[in-house]
Structure 1
Amino acid sequence: MNRLVLTAQLAERGAVRYTPAGLPALDLSLKHESEVTQDGQPRRVSVEIKARAIGAITQRLAGLEIGSSHGFAGFLGSQRNGRGVVFHVTELD
């Protein structure tokens, strides 16, 4: 199963663009910081991840304030150039 659920801050947001199929698309950068327990020890986690939304959800994401924190859900895929990972956001809490 490929599903990611992440509470994160909206760090950056590009302009709405359109795919060749005519669907709206939006590139984002999300920042997550938290403390987790690993092998019984607390560990501080900080990660910034590239994200993309395609379709109707782009309208909701385009209205979010930079720096605001939300729950994002979706799946992981590879970037167009095959280097790295992109979080495809399909749901917003």
Structure 2
Amino acid sequence: MNRLQFVASIVERDVLRYTPAGIPMVSARLLHSSQQMEAGIGRSVEFEIAALAAGEVSGRFNQADLGGMFQFTGFLARKNRNSKSLVFHIMDFETYSLAHC
């Protein structure tokens, strides 16, 4: 199974574009920061990840506030066939508030 869910802010977003097949896509960078427990010890975790929203979700993602906190759900895939770099493909997202904690 390849499913990833995390809370992050949108720190950078490209303009909405269309593939040759007419599919809308938006590339972005997401920033996650949290405290996690590992082996009974608290650990600060922070990462920035390349992300891609395609299809129906791209329209909503394109309108989402930069810097806003969102809960993202999606999967990881190589940037392209020959790349070792990963891209997070956004399948869905919703506004995140501290009430979720």
Q: TM-score, normalised by structure 2?
A: 0.89
1:82 aligned partner: 83
Instruction: Say yes or no: does 1:19 pair with 2:13.
Output: no
Structure 1 residues not aligned, in runs of 5+: none
2:60 aligned partner: 60
Instruction: Say yes or no: does 1:42 pair with 2:42.
Output: yes
Cα-to-partner distance string for 1:44-74 (whole Å, 9 max, x where unaligned): 0000000001101111001111100001101
Structure 1 stretches of 4+ with a deviation exceeding 6 A read none
Distance 2:84 2:2 in 1: 18
Question: Alignment identity in percent?
Answer: 38
Shift of the alpha carbon at 1:83? 3.0
2:93 aligned partner: 92
Secondary structure of 2:84 counterpart? coil
Distance 1:10 1:35 in 2: 19
CA root-mean-square deviation: 0.8
Secondary structure of 1:62 counterpart? helix
Distance 2:41 2:93 in 1: 31
